[in-house]
């Protein structure tokens, strides 16, 4: 399981994209800026894109390239993200 890295002004977590998202549940602290670093490690088709309407992002994920996405933490709640076909998903829990 990937560890959340947190300092006084930022939260950061690495997510491995290979047959799904690991970790698939990300817990973040409300009010502290946060980023998710997605790294796709295999060629499974629908995982070449990650997107979230709730968090307002969509990124292409080339193999073995880390893509960093800034995520909002101003509201508490659960916010989902998924692959391009919405078959594989994960969520961010802001507390």
Q: Is residue 92 part of a domain?
A: no
Q: How many domains does the chain have?
A: 1
Q: Is residue 60 part of a domain?
A: yes
pLDDT tens, residue by residue, 21-45: 999 999 999 999 999 999 999 987 8
Mean pLDDT of 68-86: 96
> What is the predicted pLDDT for the residue at 45?
80
Task: Give the domain extent around 9.
Answer: 5-86
Q: Is residue 70 part of a domain?
A: yes
| DSSP SS3 for 38 | strand
Q: Is residue 95 part of a domain?
A: no
Predicted TM-score (pTM) above 0.85:
yes
What does pLDDT average to over the chain?
93
Q: How far apart are CA 55 and CA 41, in angstroms?
A: 23
Instruction: Give the CATH number for residue 31.
Output: 2.60.40.420
Q: Is residue 67 part of a domain?
A: yes
Q: Is residue 72 part of a domain?
A: yes
């Amino acid at each position: 399981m990937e560890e959340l890295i947190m300092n006084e002004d930022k939260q950061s977590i690495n997510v491995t994209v290979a047959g799904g998202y690991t970790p698939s549940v990300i817990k973040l602290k409300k009010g502290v800026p946060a980023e998710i670093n997605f790294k796709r490690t295999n060629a499974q088709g629908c995982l070449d894109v990650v997107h979230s309407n709730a968090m307002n992002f969509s990124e292409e994920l080339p193999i073995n390239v880390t893509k960093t996405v800034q995520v909002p933490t101003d509201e508490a709640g659960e916010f989902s993200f998924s692959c391009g076909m919405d078959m594989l998903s994960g969520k961010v829990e802001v507390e």
